[in-house]
Structure 1
Amino acid sequence: MTGARLSALIVARNEQDRLPDCLASVAFADEVVVVLDRSTDRSAEIARAAGARIVEGAWDLEGDRRNTGIAACTGDWILEVDADERVDAALAKAVRATIATSAFAWHQVPVDNYVGDRLIRHGWAGSFGTTSVPRLFRRGAKRWRAQRVHPGLDWTGEEGPRIAEGALIHLVDRDISDMLRRLDKYSSAKAADLIASGNIGSLGNNLRRFVMRGFKSYVSRKGYREGAWGILLAFCTGAFPLLSYLKARLEPGKHGG
């Protein structure tokens, strides 16, 4: 056992079906904090039964919700895990080894993304998915910005080497329909962020982003190795900023708050 204490932070909303497995996967942490945002299901009961400390509330901005969770953690290090993710045994061991010796402020963690039962290794890009996330960090090193979807990050301290062992298992979508619903949800939230910023961009710029992000997903990130799944990922990756812009421009009253 290392002298460095580890807090596992889970942020969730009505995740009673996924929360038990997620909680079980972070049981190796010294402390588990669960932030429940307007949850009306059995998530609180499940978290308490697992020995987690619960913070309940309502937040409009994802950044504020996650910062509340970080502030509630008491460990020297924090590992952020979403309810649709699981820490595999190899990653758990690597996290413990890292915090025992690291002189850095934060580390990237590898991610294995699943759509249903299919592991998709290639093609994740832009704001639609990633194969590495900065989830392991010292308390005080990370702060999320006040945005609704995929908020930016402000860091204090130096980044360390990416963890190479194990993976954060991300059950990102149940099927294609779930993926498209996620695209719709994310683009609506991003439209609200664009409107709030006072600068929604231009049609021309977002058309270029559609092409460039799709190309990055399919070619640069080797989505072509996934066959037809790679085409689907490239479409969603490129469509996200374009659809966000179109919602902000054509339906500002619907997405303005």
Structure 2
Amino acid sequence: MTTLSALIVARNEAERLPDCLASVAFADEVVVVLDRTTDASAAIARAAGARVIEGGWHLEGERRNAGIAACASDWVLEVDADERVSPPLAAAVRRVIGTSTHAWHQVPVDNYVGDRLVRYGWAGSFGTTSVPRLFRRGAKSWRAQRVHPGLDWVGKEGPKITEGALIHLVDRDISDMLRRLDKYSSAKAADLIAKGDIGSLPDNLRRFLSRVWKSYVSRKGYREGGWGVLLALCTGAFPLLAYLKARLEPERHGGVKEGGVKRD
């Protein structure tokens, strides 16, 4: 029988972790990676039967790779603490891993801001409606970056899953969306500084305009009314803000040392 590991990477998510864990109970094992966590997340995960890995990673790619390495099943499904696997998606995942000859598959995402499902306008690094989260063990690795790290693959992509969705509770409200923009752009600024190439103002102004257009027009954000305007502005502002932080405040975004790991 083909087996499945559900992998959850979280930091101080005691409030949202129970619902996330319940949604992946169909998996053969659940692995929870807790990064510098100080709340009750570890106890909640263990009570749900998950295997817990605690440590400190300042690079998103490294902590996700630590979780992948801990998974023992044939396939891995990555789920964030602010996401839930819908029952139709759970059934589709089980069906796919039992029949697929490919290395990985895209999974559909339904994005919510508060109680509102926002279907259109997600683009760039600020949100997406499809993610490559289902993969054979050994097929996927994350690059050493702080925010939205790149991916390296072994094997070929299979057809996108179309049944159900990952329910993504992206932001609680507009203020939460703006806080996320600030957090992501700061992390991206640190990545730019570490890379030694922060880009230029003209290039990032062009990126701002092209990403606003992509979000609002190409991705049909206009169909969401004012929410589409907000998404387009945040999508365009993300790389521009990251550049400006790296250019104007390099001393505040110069990177941090990496922490250690403790395993159960």
1:62 maps to: 60
Partner of 1:122, secondary structure, is coil
Rounded to whole Å, the distance in 2 between the matches of 1:77 and 1:146 is: 22
> 5+ unaligned residues in a row in structure 2: which ranges?
256-264
Which structure 2 residues correspond to residues 68-83 of structure 1 after superposition, within 5 A? 68-83=66-81
Rounded to whole Å, the distance in 2 between the matches of 1:75 and 1:226 is: 40
Rounded to whole Å, the distance in 2 between the matches of 1:60 and 1:229 is: 32
For residues 18-71 of structure 1, what are the alpha-carbon distances to aligned partners after superposition, in whole Å with 9 as ceiling and x for unaligned?
A: 000000000000000000001000000000000000000000100000000000
What's the offset of the Cα at 1:170? 0.1
Which structure 2 residues correspond to residues 91-106 of structure 1 after superposition, within 5 A? 91-106=89-104
For residues 141-181 of structure 1, what are the alpha-carbon distances to aligned partners after superposition, in whole Å with 9 as ceiling and x for unaligned?
A: 00000000000000000000000000000000000000000
> 5+ unaligned residues in a row in structure 1: which ranges?
none
Rounded to whole Å, the distance in 1 between the matches of 2:66 and 2:51 is: 13
Partner of 1:162, secondary structure, is coil
Rounded to whole Å, the distance in 2 between the matches of 1:102 and 1:159 is: 10
After superposing on structure 2, the runs of 4+ consecutive aligned residues of structure 1 that deviate more than 6 Å are: none
For residues 106-128 of structure 1, what are the alpha-carbon distances to aligned partners after superposition, in whole Å with 9 as ceiling and x for unaligned?
A: 00000000000000000000000
Q: Which amino acid aligns with 1:143?
A: S
2:141 maps to: 143
Which structure 2 residues correspond to residues 1-257 of structure 1 after superposition, within 5 A? 3-257=1-255
Partner of 2:123, secondary structure, is coil
2:259 maps to: none
Rounded to whole Å, the distance in 1 between the matches of 2:33 and 2:252 is: 28
Partner of 2:68, secondary structure, is helix
Q: Which amino acid aligns with 2:190?
A: A
Q: TM-score, normalised by structure 2?
A: 0.96
Q: Which amino acid aligns with 1:210?
A: F
Partner of 1:160, secondary structure, is coil
Partner of 1:150, secondary structure, is coil
Rounded to whole Å, the distance in 2 between the matches of 1:4 and 1:57 is: 30
Q: Which amino acid aligns with 1:244?
A: A
The number of residues matched between the two structures is 255
Rounded to whole Å, the distance in 1 between the matches of 2:41 and 2:53 is: 12
Rounded to whole Å, the distance in 2 between the matches of 1:81 and 1:113 is: 14
Q: TM-score, normalised by structure 1?
A: 0.99
Rounded to whole Å, the distance in 2 between the matches of 1:235 and 1:224 is: 12
Rounded to whole Å, the distance in 2 between the matches of 1:130 and 1:245 is: 22
Partner of 2:14, secondary structure, is coil
Q: Which amino acid aligns with 1:240?
A: F
